[in-house]
Amino acid sequence: MEKKFGLAIHGGAGTIKKSTMTSFDETKYITELNHAIIKGYTILKGGGSALDAVEYAVRILEDCPLFNAGKGSVFTHEGTHEMDASIMCGDTLNAGAVAAVKGIRNPVQLARKVMEESGYVLLCGSGAERFGKSAALPFENEKYFFTDNRFNQWQALKNSEHAVLDHDGGKKFGTVGAVALDQNGNVAAATSTGGLTNKKFGRLGDSVVIGAGNYANNKTCAVSCTGYGEYFIRSVVAYDISCLMEYGGLSLKDACARVIDKLTDFGGEGGFIAIDKLGNIELLFNTEGMYRGYASSDKSSGIQVDIYRNKNQDSTPS
């Protein structure tokens, strides 16, 4: 019997309308999403691990200035870049996360090092950076993280008390993430973000919180979230999906539908991607759009990538 495997990714959700997106920009986003899916899915197809697949897919998105993670991270109030990332293994329930780190080229790579080599789950700030340097991970100077779009967003806000979502003509949650199921039946999830533009006081969102913005458990599923982090933390979104499956007996589809409804009722905006131990995939959001895509051994349609809400959005790939 052929073993099922698959990968899903997201590059953020929010007010993303086709009417306000140029064809040039749309092509750039689709190209990068395809690139990340192809690389991650190739690892799975070759018998590689779900952990390797999600890390590699997220690293590709972190290296792209289009997304609010890694190279494309937004500016803080102080004019720096503070990045957060987490990763989780569904087989062992081991997890690693880094918060408010500066200079690290790929925060998700550092999060995995924390999981596998530190003996801890969460490291933050300068301590996490020292750990990354001791592990010989690549660091970059501030110039590497500079993009005109992010700089202009910050300039419009730096003299105010407001911290806002990554946006361009509307609200957009720029977190990136990936979930995967490998041929050995293991799931994994990874999430990475630059946070809010003009954020202060070391603010952290859900991306770094295991169970809120990221979770993986072989008994149930793997989940990666994107949205207004404060709502996702208080709703414990990622674990809520897994919990409904493990203790409530719900399918992935039903659990995701219930949680997105709960999040909406709570006033939270955003979305999430999820894959279960059977290879079913869900990509749900309550905003105008979400950069997303997936590839699965159980699908004959190949790689699927989308940006906007469409009439089939509520009928996800399961």
Shortest CA distance to 180 belongs to which of 296, 316, 272?
A: 296
Shortest CA distance to 293 belongs to which of 282, 303, 302, 308?
A: 303
Cβ distance 188 to 210 under 8 Å? no
Sign of CA dihedral 46, 51, 56, 61: positive
DSSP summary character for residue 141: -
User: In the block, which residue shows the tokens 């006033």?
Assistant: 267
Shortest CA distance to 305 belongs to which of 62, 56, 61?
A: 61
Residue among 15, 147, 175, 264 flagged as catalytic = 175
DSSP summary character for residue 243: H
Phi, psi of 42 (to 5 degrees): -60, -40
Q: Catalytic annotation on 22?
A: no
Catalogue the E-assigned strands of the chain.
6-14, 83-89, 95-101, 122-124, 172-173, 176-181, 187-193, 214-216, 221-227, 270-276, 281-285, 289-296, 304-308
Cα–Cα distances in Å, from 56 out to 7, 63, 64, 125?
11, 11, 13, 23
DSSP summary character for residue 117: I
Pairing of β 122-124 and β 172-173 = unpaired
Among all residues, which ones are annotated catalytic? Answer: 175
